[in-house]
Amino acid sequence: MGAKSEKWMLMVTARTPTNIAVIKYWGKRDEKLILPINDSISVTLDPNHLCTTTTVSVSPSFVEDRMWLNGKEISLQGGRFQSCLREIRARANDVEDKKKGIKIKKEDWQKLHLHIASYNNFPTAAGLASSAAGLACLVFSLAKLMNLKEDNSQLSAIARQGSGSACRSLYGGFVKWIMGKEENGSDSLAVQLADEKHWDDLVIIIAVVCARQKETSSTSGMRDTVETSALIQHRAKEVVPKRIIEMENAIQNHDFPSFARLACTDSNQFHAVCLDTHPPIFYMNDTSHRIISCVEKWNRAEGTPQVAYTFDAGPNAVMIARNRKTAALLLQRLLYNFPPQPGTDLDSYVIGDKSILEDAGVKHMKGVEALAPPPETKDNIVGEKSKGDVSYFICTRPGGGPVVLSDETHALLDPITGLPN
């Protein structure tokens, strides 16, 4: 153990992105190991706008494993946390910090306790895959702390056991979760298809939609779908494998029309099998439907897709625009159709990359009110504009994978007490 009695503490802080699936994961073949019934593909979101930061620390003075999420202590007793902690401890190695005079032997990790603090730079409850980023960040930061030799793909198989889609947050850019064949799940892991610079035209706008009803958790939802849907196996076995190949090609070739078609149809099919579940699961609401109609109408009017949309297990829309110019036009349309409630500040209604808002030429709330109806709606009866159906928009883009934050000012735990700052 360390030279300076029992007072030493070692800390690592890391940042991990969220991701949004464009070919969806829905349904497990093994509930415990979290093995999916089909491959999935995701886009990693820029961690500047959506990420989890986690500090993990170890000290002989800690009497038990403890964790804080957004400053509030949470239980680590859940099977999923325990799986990740067990798998990581089993792979821990000797660690030496010469500057601090600390030496931890491989076998010591089984006895040493951990303090973990995690923080999302976006609302946890907004249904933006916070558990994916969170579990990925936990696994990544612990792997650094315990000096694991495994690469990110091997780490992804550990994160997968915490939260399925977490495995796709171990890489930036475009990521495939290979379902694997092994019963023990060793080959069910994430690989990077292309990094975030490969297709850097893309701009992402997220509409955080107000929900009236509590949603079905994705864990119980996908279990119900596998048990009761008459369509899910056909989707997993016949439909998705072809789409995976097509989506990989679309990404490789920067083929936006194919990318958009596949992303939209696969999102809709995921929600279709939710509806085919007994009892049926509804994640999208009327606002989600209106966002889809708005995008579909525009894509149709342009003759070729300008924007792809995808919805996870909630009503929020993630829209991927083919480039900055398109993103600005999209934001105009969204603000026109989904204005905020009176008294809302534009600065808090459109967050993230504000330069898209500048490109859209909207400088203040009066600018939103002055927006002209988009040309494609002119001939049609325009759907009612109802204020406040969207909570806010986040402008972002594809982004990079996990990183260690070596600057200690980012740490979420106090280096003396080991408690949240």
Per-position x/- string for 162-201, each x denoting binding to its own copies as judged by CB under 8 A, each - no binding: ----------------------------------------
Instruction: Specify the residue, 140 or 283, whose C-beta has the smaller distance to its own copies.
Output: 283
Dihedral class, residue 295 (left if φ above 0, else alpha if ψ from -120 to 50, else beta) = alpha
Instruction: Specify the residue, 195 or 296, whose C-beta has the smaller distance to its own copies.
Output: 296
Contact pick of 4, 86, 100, 289 for its own copies (by CB under 8 A):
289
- 303: CB partners within 8 A, 6+ apart: none
User: Measured between alpha carbons, how far is 238 from 307 in angstroms, rounded to an integer?
Assistant: 26
Among 152-160, 293-301, 318-326, 408-416, the segment contacting its own copies (CB under 8 A): 293-301
User: Measured between alpha carbons, how far is 188 from 197 in angstroms, rounded to an integer?
Assistant: 26
Instruction: Specify the residue, 183 or 286, whose C-beta has the smaller distance to its own copies.
Output: 286
Instruction: Specify the residue, 132 or 236, whose C-beta has the smaller distance to its own copies.
Output: 236
By CB under 8 A, the count of residues binding its own copies is 36
User: Measured between alpha carbons, how far is 121 from 107 in angstroms, rounded to an integer?
Assistant: 35
Contact pick of 6, 107, 238, 379 for its own copies (by CB under 8 A):
238
Instruction: Specify the residue, 165 or 269, whose C-beta has the smaller distance to its own copies.
Output: 269
Interaction of residue 296 with its own copies, rule CB under 8 A: yes
Per-position x/- string for 249-278, each x denoting binding to its own copies as judged by CB under 8 A, each - no binding: ------------x--xx--xx-xxx-xxxx
- 356: CB partners within 8 A, 6+ apart: 203, 205, 324, 327, 328, 331, 350, 395
Instruction: Specify the residue, 383 or 415, whose C-beta has the smaller distance to its own copies.
Output: 383
Interaction of residue 377 with its own copies, rule CB under 8 A: no
Least gap, CB of 309 to its own copies (angstroms): 10
Instruction: Specify the residue, 7 or 278, whose C-beta has the smaller distance to its own copies.
Output: 278
Least gap, CB of 129 to its own copies (angstroms): 22
Least gap, CB of 138 to its own copies (angstroms): 30
User: Measured between alpha carbons, how far is 107 from 219 in angstroms, rounded to an integer?
Assistant: 34
Interaction of residue 373 with its own copies, rule CB under 8 A: no
Least gap, CB of 276 to its own copies (angstroms): 4
For residue 322, the tally of other CB atoms under 10 A from its CB is 22
Interaction of residue 215 with its own copies, rule CB under 8 A: no
User: Measured between alpha carbons, how far is 115 from 123 in angstroms, rounded to an integer?
Assistant: 23
For residue 283, the tally of other CB atoms under 10 A from its CB is 21
Interaction of residue 239 with its own copies, rule CB under 8 A: yes
Q: Which residues pair with 326 in a beta bridge?
A: none
Q: Among 328, 342, 326, 333, which Cα is nearest to 371's?
A: 333
Interaction of residue 241 with its own copies, rule CB under 8 A: no
CB burial string 253-277: b at 16+ within 10 A, e below: eebbebbbbbbbebbebbbebbebb
Instruction: Specify the residue, 85 or 263, whose C-beta has the smaller distance to its own copies.
Output: 263
Q: Among 255, 191, 155, which Cα is nearest to 44's?
A: 191
User: Measured between alpha carbons, how far is 307 from 326 in angstroms, rounded to an integer?
Assistant: 8
Binding site for its own copies (CB under 8 A): 212-214, 228, 230-231, 234-235, 238-239, 261, 264-265, 268-269, 271-273, 275-280, 282, 285-286, 289-290, 292-293, 296, 300, 381, 383-384
